Amino acid sequence: MNGVTQLHRPRRVAVLSVHTSPLEQPGTGDAGGLNVYVSETTRRLARHGIAVEVFTRATSSDLPPVVELAHGVLVRHVTAGPYEPLERAELPSQLCAFTAGVLRAEARQDPGHYDLVHSHYWLSGQVGWLVRERWGVPLVHTAHTLAKVKNAALADGDAPEPRVRVIGEQQVVDEADRLIANTDVEAAQLTGLYAADPDKVHTIAPGVDLDRFRPADRAADRAALGIPADAVVFAFVGRVQPLKAPDVLLRAAAELLARGDLARDRLVVLVAGGPSGSGLDQPAALQDLAAALGITDVVRFLPPQSGDALARVYRAADVVAVPSHNESFGLVALEAQACGTPVVAAAVGGLPVAVADGRSGLLVDGHATPDWADALTRLATAPRLRAELAAGAVRHARAFSWDRTTDALLAGYAEAGRALRRSLPRVEVAV
């Protein structure tokens, strides 16, 4: 347990995930890597004997107040605003109501019910900051994405993050007892862009479910998806929005076909995901782009996938493309590699950590269509290189696991608790 003793381990943790629930399907709406992170880590915390309660906003009146995600993990649906999904820009107005709901839930319990709060994303951090003060427990915060970083690398058609988020993130950074960064790059962004105390920032890489995402029979997976065994398959998995840049894959596919790098009747481009964020404004934009590029015949759109179906998509591909304009880490890249599929990814954010350039995949500087077409062609037309990278992808992914992530979180929780105790005023007892 990395030196984390039972004495320093919290008994019960309140996890805050205001804008998205771990019960939701990743790949559409606001659900993505954050949902996977919360689901995987809370399950493992419970296996360590820690009771976990996840607070998230209720988006439907049909949702029960409490749902068991796993043994020892409860999801509490907090009424805050209308029973419907809200855009993230609308959610700050509901933070007061959400905070009240969290405080009411705690007030029904005996004093000292929660030992620690772990907030995910800045909206949750705002709530965590307030309940930390009320309960007198440490606040651990994971940002997942940062407004200043996103605004420095906007995709075409994407709106900048609002000033209220920048201010809100700064407040959370200032108040949290521990800040969890996915990579050293993110840690440097917290200290450099937000003046975070370096002693409060801890780098803990996310993990991958190595039992689910593993190599298997690629031919069988292709047959299940109706893909010819000898096809060249490129795949994109994730939310369809400008930030994730699935258009880069489509434009590169059109380019390499126009150049004659691949035979048209052998190419299949899989896009598994649903509209999200600013992509909701034009939900059919990617289909329209495929038509405009003249590649509708080679592109197949799939709904968001989960579990074994998601692993099947990864394994069916020769290459998984992750062309995002920004990623704090890139769980899709890690999951694909664990399945034995090389990744071509943009050299941004945490992707140079998630992908070992030249060993488990290829990194591309920028998003220029010719550069992406070159990288994809290089792997598609070099079976030996692809096989070497596939083997390297599995080795690289094995260095990451959710158990390792959770053990590191427990160590961070213990440090946050000790830091909070040191900050409390000492009380002199008269003799």
266 is in an annotated binding site: no
200 is in an annotated binding site: no
386 is in an annotated binding site: no
Residue 186, helix vs strand vs coil: helix
148 is in an annotated binding site: no
Q: Rounded to whole angstroms, how far apart are CA atoms 285 and 426?
A: 61
19 is in an annotated binding site: yes
171 is in an annotated binding site: no
CA distances from 163 to 58, 170, 291, 295 (A): 26, 11, 37, 40
150 is in an annotated binding site: no
Whether 48 and 25 have beta carbons less than 8 Å apart is answered as no
Encoding tokens for residue 338?
């664990």
CA 333, 306, 252, 393 torsion-angle sign: positive
Q: Dihedrals φ, ψ of 69, to 5°?
A: -75, -40
421 is in an annotated binding site: no
Whether 407 and 265 have beta carbons less than 8 Å apart is answered as no
CA dihedral of residues 330, 332, 334, 338 (deg, nearest 10) = 180
314 is in an annotated binding site: yes
HSE-up of residue 402 (Cα within 13 Å, Cβ side): 23
305 is in an annotated binding site: yes
330 is in an annotated binding site: no
327 is in an annotated binding site: yes
30 is in an annotated binding site: yes
198: buried, middle or exposed (CB in 10 Å: 19+, 13-18, 0-12)? Answer: exposed
202 is in an annotated binding site: no
194 is in an annotated binding site: no
203 is in an annotated binding site: no
Residue 141, helix vs strand vs coil: strand
Q: Rounded to whole angstroms, how far apart are CA atoms 52 and 58?
A: 18
Q: Which residue has the tokens 């160590």?
A: 411
CA dihedral of residues 70, 71, 73, 77 (deg, nearest 10) = 60
288 is in an annotated binding site: no
Q: Which long-range contacts (CB under 8 A, 24 or more apart) does 131-137 make?
A: 131/14, 131/16, 131/99, 131/102, 131/103, 131/106, 132/175, 132/177, 134/103, 135/106, 137/420
378 is in an annotated binding site: no
Write out the E strands in 105-221: 116-120, 139-142, 178-181, 201-203
Q: Which residue has the tokens 């590191």?
A: 408
244 is in an annotated binding site: yes
315 is in an annotated binding site: yes
312 is in an annotated binding site: no
123 is in an annotated binding site: no
Residue ranges of the annotated binding site for Mg(2+) are 314-315, 317, 341
Residue ranges of the annotated binding site are 19, 25-26, 30-35, 88, 121, 145, 165, 239, 244, 305, 314-315, 317, 327, 335, 341
Residue ranges of the annotated binding site for UDP-N-acetyl-alpha-D-glucosamine are 25-26, 33, 239, 244, 305, 327, 335
Residue ranges of the annotated binding site for 1D-myo-inositol 3-phosphate are 19, 30-35, 88, 121, 145, 165
